[in-house]
Structure 1
Amino acid sequence: MPPADPATGRGESGPAAYRVFGRAEWAALRASTPLSLSAEDLEGLRGLTDRLSLEEVAEVFLPLSRLLNLQVAAARGLGVVQDTFLGRQVVPPPYIIGIAGSVAVGKSTFARVLQAILARWPDHPSVALITTDGFLYPTRVLEARGLMGRKGFPESYDLRKMIGFLSAVKAGEEVVSAPVYSHLTYDIVPGQKQIVRRPDILIFEGLNVLQTAAGAPLLASDFFDFSVYVDAAEEDIARWYLERFLLLQRTAFQQPRSYFHRYKDLPLAEATAVAQRIWREINLRNLNENILPTRERARMVLRKGADHRAQEIWLRRM
């Protein structure tokens, strides 16, 4: 790794706290881990604009799954030590992985693929995935508080409910529920819950999962055993956001129940202008003010190139 800049703490490729791997170097760490996903499996896991390939899975996700498999085994070993010391029955708590990053950077696809691969390891077949969208306040609350223009910012989440959920999961409670969010209606679905039943691994994905808060007794990241920040250049994320918006305009926005139904017939130039305004006024501000500053709290940073392919992996030095 290049020497760090003494003024910034960064090397040429990343912060000094991390070891930085090029793609080929990282891929070699796969060792003999088998590729357990098929092309058909992958097709069902891709996001709207992601171009994820089996090559990407083999070279990026399989080394990560091998690392996490070793981490889970080590964490369970520590749990056995503590339970033995306390003289109680050994019940390993779920291993929790936090995944952070900007809107449109591909973290949801990353989380789904990671879930599918980790669940194929015989050591931890039960892998749950929860997104923080379910912990957003309902639209009626956001409107009453004047926060609809800051949806996705830290203050738009019910942090008490989020912390309560993570605490219950980590405590090994048999059944824990999380609210369900609809991207179609852009709101919490009344009466619906996603049930988590003491999984081996919980993946917790969202914009601000690595967020700090002054004076807060607990943070979401306090419950994480490992964390990943999915990263890319600002101009690339903006382009991916625009591509996704225009694709949704032709698909999901056409449904009368869609919150964005009013945009369904906009000409291309107007739809582009709307998407760029939403990106600039909401998502870019949130990225720069709240999300990007948490990047170096992650145990691993996945740096994407303009083609959505992983280019670098930063792994925090222990």
Structure 2
Amino acid sequence: MDKLIALIKQRYVGQFMTIAVTGSVSVGKSTFAETISKALGIQVKVISTDHFLMSNQTLIAQDLFGQKGFPQTYDLESLEQVIKAFKQGEKSVEIPIYTQENSDIDPNNQQIIERPDILIIEGVVALRLKQTDFKIYLEADLEDIKWWYLSRTLAMTAQAKDNKSSWRYQYTTMPIGELADLTMKTWDETNQVNLDNYILPSKQYADVVVYLDKNHDVEDIKIKD
């Protein structure tokens, strides 16, 4: 990790910089991005591409809800405009808010993002953005990723047992075996397809590929020449 932080600091020349972090669903993008943010020692802001998902209402109207998370379900143009505004010197911008509780865009609120020294954008479509200055792809063994996905889903569902407003609440009384089967069916029909068809192909644009072990620790870092 020290090598990666040193490389980013070398690339940062005192002007606004953007870093894109991508990889499979559940590979640990948000945690990795926050780790980088804390290690850099300058003003860094992390935002998720999830804030630029189309609303569920829009996805349903366009018959895209079953593909949620695929590139065509994001408003990447609006995210590009955020990057452009900061590059042109804007001090702050407003962006939508995606809530995990509702698994949807909040129709009534937005969030204000102050211009940082470095903006880290993490998400499954992050490497598709044209204006980012440094691109990182996270890679791990597929079986580890699938286990992380299952574990996270079961844990988040258990946490929703007293929260009737959460979309996960409907699954909290499901026998764990059935929930596990449903979770992995979702993986096979959606997340694996997204990984194979969209996320993995974006790896070619990465400046750095970071390999994670089964404990989510950095195992190796390969820098593209």
Amino acid at match of 2:150: L
Equivalent AA in structure 1 for residue 120 of structure 2? I
Distance in 1 between residues matched to 2:181 and 2:98, nearest whole Å: 27
1:251 aligns with 2:159: yes
SS at structure 1 position matched to 2:167: coil
Query: Unaligned regions of 5+ residues in structure 2, if any?
Result: none
Q: When the two structures are superposed, what TM-score results if normalisation uses the length of structure 2?
A: 0.95
Q: Distance in 2 between matches of 1:305 and 1:126?
A: 29
Per the alignment, residue 112 of structure 1 pairs with 34
Q: Is the contact made by 1:170 and 1:223 (CA closer than 8 Å) also made in structure 2?
A: no
What does 1:37-48 align with in structure 2 at a 5 Å threshold? none
SS in 1 for 2:156: helix
Query: Equivalents in 2 of 1:138, 1:101: separation in Å?
Result: 23
Q: Which residue does the alignment assign to 2:184?
A: 276
* Aligned mates of 1:287, 1:280 — CA distance in 2: 10
- Spell out the pairing of 1:225-240 with structure 2 (5 A cutoff): 225-240=133-148
Distance 1:239 1:117, change over 3 A: same
Matched, 1:173 2:90: yes
How many Å separate the matches in 1 of 2:34 and 2:201? 25
Matched, 1:193 2:110: yes
In structure 2, C-alpha distance between the alignment counterparts of 1:145 and 1:263, rounded to whole Å: 26
1:135 correspondence with 2:57: no
Instruction: Quote the residue 1:95 is aligned against.
Output: 17
Q: Aligned pairs, how many?
A: 225
Shift of 1:161: 1.2
Match of 1:183 in 2: 100
Q: 1:131-180 CA deviation, whole Å, 9 max, x = no partner?
A: 11010001111111121211100110012212211211222212212111
Kindly provide the amino acid, as one letter, of the partner of residue 62 in structure 2: R
**Identity fraction in percent:** 36
Shift of 1:194: 2.5
1:296 to 2:204 alignment: yes
Q: Which runs of 5+ in 1 are unaligned?
A: 1-59, 77-91, 212-219
Aligned residue number for residue 25 of structure 1: none
Mapping of residues 7-156 of structure 1, within 5 Å: 60=1, 62-73=2-13, 76=14, 92=15, 94-118=16-40, 120=41, 125-156=42-73
1:106 Cα deviation from its structure 2 partner: 0.4
Determine helix, strand or coil for the equivalent of 2:151: helix
TM-score by length of structure 1 reads 0.68
Question: 1:116, CA displacement in angstroms?
Answer: 1.6
What's the C-alpha RMSD, in Å, of the aligned pairs? 1.4
Aligned to 2:126: 209
State the alpha-carbon separation in 2 of the partners of residues 227 and 170 from structure 1.
17
CA displacement, residues 191-241 of structure 1 (integer Å, 9 cap, x when unaligned): 322322221110011101113xxxxxxxx1x21111111111222111110
Question: What is the one-letter code of the residue matched to 1:205?
Answer: E
- Structure 2 counterpart of 1:278, one-letter code: T
Is 1:263 aligned to residue 180 of structure 2?
A: no
- Give, in whole Å, the separation in 2 of the partners of 1:172 and 1:254: 45
Q: Cα distance, 1:253 vs. partner?
A: 5.4
3-state SS in 2 of match to 1:260: helix
Q: Is the 8 A contact 1:254 1:264 kept in 2?
A: no
Provide the C-alpha distance between the structure 2 equivalents of 1:292 and 1:271, rounded to a whole number of angstroms: 27
**How many Å apart are 1:254 and its aligned residue?**
4.2
Q: Any conservation in 2 of the 1:242–1:275 contact (CA below 8 Å)?
A: yes
Greater share of strand: 2
Q: Secondary structure of 2:91's partner? A: coil
Q: Which string of whole-angstrom CA distances, capped at 9 and with x for unpartnered residues, describes residues 90-145 of structure 1?
A: xx3x1100011111000110011111222x2xxxx321111110100011111111
> Structure 1: which amino acid aligns with 2:92?
V
2-side partners of 1:189 and 1:309: how far apart? 33
Aligned to 2:213: 305
Counterpart of 2:195 (choices 283, 287, 306) is 287
User: SS where residue 126 of structure 2 aligns?
Assistant: coil
2:223 match: 315
